[in-house]
Structures are given as structure tokens and as C-alpha cells.
């Protein structure tokens, strides 16, 4: 099974030899890939939805990997005992749900070495949560599928100070390393905001004035980051 760009990019950050939990695994593609490529010796694949996990159970059985991949139904990290795994993947969910999952099981969270997080939305809120709650962002990446770009945030316990509000939205490690997809990412975000501006301009009423000003400010901030990665 060939993984999508998004899932493949996630697997690149799994330390070799690690014991992994894939929370919200759904189809089970990541656990099977990690074991088949001998990146992980043992994976716990879990999902809150029994119907979703059933897909993983069938796939794992078909690949005859039951001795290496354990499946568990349950909510977030509650399926794990402290220190049972060293690496946790939480991908394909909203950033706020990801932060709730981390926060609700601090006794487990505090024993994990590496988190690989892939928020579909609300990465700003996720970075805010992480930096306010004793996590540091050690690495970040982007994956492109069609026009859409996906953020991948690798986190360990530690301290992180974010210098500017816009870096909660455009991750600091992406900027530092001038990720090859960063220009595309900013262009994509600008496009989204410009679409909103156009709609607000069409509405042209006083009620939307503040939102209009916010969106204009946002474009200026994106352009500041663009100049930063082009200039230095």
C-alpha cells in the first residue's frame, strides 16, 4: 500500500525502533507501514469509533501483523498506560481536539518522548496550547496533496517561546528552515483570506468593517513572513 504524501511525511518523523501509538488511526495505514518498513517494532492502533477501528483490524489481519499491531477502541490517550509507548501520532483531526486529547491524559502525555501532530484545521490554536503547556516544537513540515497543504508538527516536552503572533499560524521551524513548500503554504493561506476580503468588500456594510481590517492586517503579516524567507 502506497501512502499519501501527507501520511508518508508523518512517518518520516517516527524515530527508528520506537514503540508507537497511532491515535485516531481509522484505516490503519500508518501502523501497517511503520511495521512493514521496520521503522517500529510494535504499534498500538486506536480509534474512538468501533466502526473505524474495525477497518484497521481487518487490514492488520489481512497483512498478518496481529503480533506487532495491537488495536484498541477508546478516547484519545486514555487507551494507553503511562510509558507504554514512546511516540504518539495524532493525525487528521482538528487542532483543538488534538490539544484536548493531550490535556485530558497528562499522566500519559508526560511520559511520551515524541508527538507527531497533524492538525487539519486550527494549527494556530494547537501551537498556542502547546507553547502554553510545556511543549516545544522540535520540527515542522508540510505535505502537499493537490492544492491542499498539510502541517505536521513534531513536539517534545519542553519550553518554547514564540516571538510573534503570526508564527502560531506559520510555524517557526518552517520559517527557520525555509521549508520548500512554505511559499506555497503562505500563498494558499493568502488566497483563503483574500477570498474572505472579496466577500466582505461585496457586503460593503459597516458591520463587517472590523473583520475586513483584521483580514487586511493578516495579509500584511503573511507578506512580512514572505519577505523574511526571501530576504535572509
Ligand X SMILES: C[S@@+](CC[C@H](N)C(=O)[O-])C[C@H]1O[C@@H](n2cnc3c(N)ncnc32)[C@H](O)[C@@H]1O
**How many residues sit close enough to ligand X to count as binding (CB under 6 A)?**
15
In the complex, minimum distance from the CB of residue 118 to ligand X, in angstroms, rounded to a whole number: 6
129 contacts 119 by C-beta, under 8 angstroms? no
Indicate the residue among 148 and 164 with the shorter CB distance to ligand X: 148
Single residue of 31, 92, 119, 171 touching ligand X by CB under 6 A: 92
- Contacts with ligand X in 31-90 (CB under 6 A)? 47-49, 52, 75-76
Is the Cβ of residue 26 or residue 226 nearer to ligand X in the bound state?
26
Shortest Cβ 4–ligand X spacing (Å):
8
When asked if residue 23 is in the footprint of ligand X (CB under 6 A), the reply is yes
Strand 18-23, strand 40-47: pairing: parallel
Write down the least CB distance from residue 130 to ligand X, Å. Answer: 17
User: Among 19-27, 142-150, 169-177, 196-204, which window interacts with ligand X (CB under 6 A)?
Assistant: 19-27
Q: Are strands 114-119 and 87-93 parallel, antiparallel or unpaired?
A: parallel
Q: Which of 20, 21, 39, 93 binds ligand X (CB under 6 A)?
A: 93
CA angle 95–37–141, rounded 5-degree value = 30
Q: Which of 7, 72, 61 lies closest to 37 in space, CA to CA?
A: 7
Residues forming contacts to ligand X in the complex (CB under 6 A) are: 23-26, 47-49, 52, 75-76, 91-93, 97, 101
Amino acid at each position: 500500500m502506497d501512502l499519501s504524501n501527507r501520511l508518508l511525511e508523518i512517518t518520516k518523523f517516527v524515530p527508528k525502533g520506537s514503540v508507537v501509538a497511532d491515535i485516531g488511526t481509522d484505516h490503519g495505514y500508518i501502523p501497517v507501514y511503520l511495521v512493514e518498513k521496520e521503522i517500529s517494532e510494535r504499534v498500538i492502533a486506536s480509534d474512538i469509533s468501533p466502526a473505524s477501528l474495525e477497518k484497521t483490524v481487518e487490514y492488520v489481519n489481512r497483512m498478518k501483523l496481529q503480533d506487532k499491531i495491537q488495536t484498541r477502541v477508546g478516547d484519545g490517550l486514555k487507551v494507553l498506560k503511562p510509558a507504554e509507548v514512546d511516540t504518539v501520532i495524532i493525525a487528521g483531526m482538528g487542532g483543538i481536539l488534538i490539544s484536548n486529547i493531550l490535556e485530558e491524559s497528562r499522566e500519559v502525555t508526560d511520559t511520551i518522548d515524541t508527538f507527531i501532530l497533524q492538525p487539519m484545521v486550527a494549527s494556530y490554536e494547537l501551537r498556542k496550547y502547546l507553547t502554553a503547556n510545556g511543549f516545544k516544537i522540535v520540527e515542522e513540515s508540510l505535505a502537499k496533496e493537490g492544492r491542499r497543504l498539510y502541517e505536521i508538527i513534531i513536539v517534545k516536552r519542553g519550553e518554547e517561546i514564540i516571538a510573534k503572533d503570526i508564527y502560531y499560524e506559520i510555524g517557526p521551524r518552517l520559517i527557520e528552515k525555509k521549508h520548500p513548500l512554505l511559499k506555497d503554504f503562505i500563498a494558499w493561506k493568502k488566497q483563503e483570506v483574500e477570498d474572505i476580503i472579496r466577500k466582505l468588500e461585496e457586503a460593503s456594510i459597516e458591520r463587517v468593517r472590523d473583520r475586513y481590517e483584521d483580514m487586511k492586517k493578516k495579509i500584511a503579516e503573511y507578506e512580512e513572513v514572505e519577505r523574511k524567507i526571501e530576504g535572509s
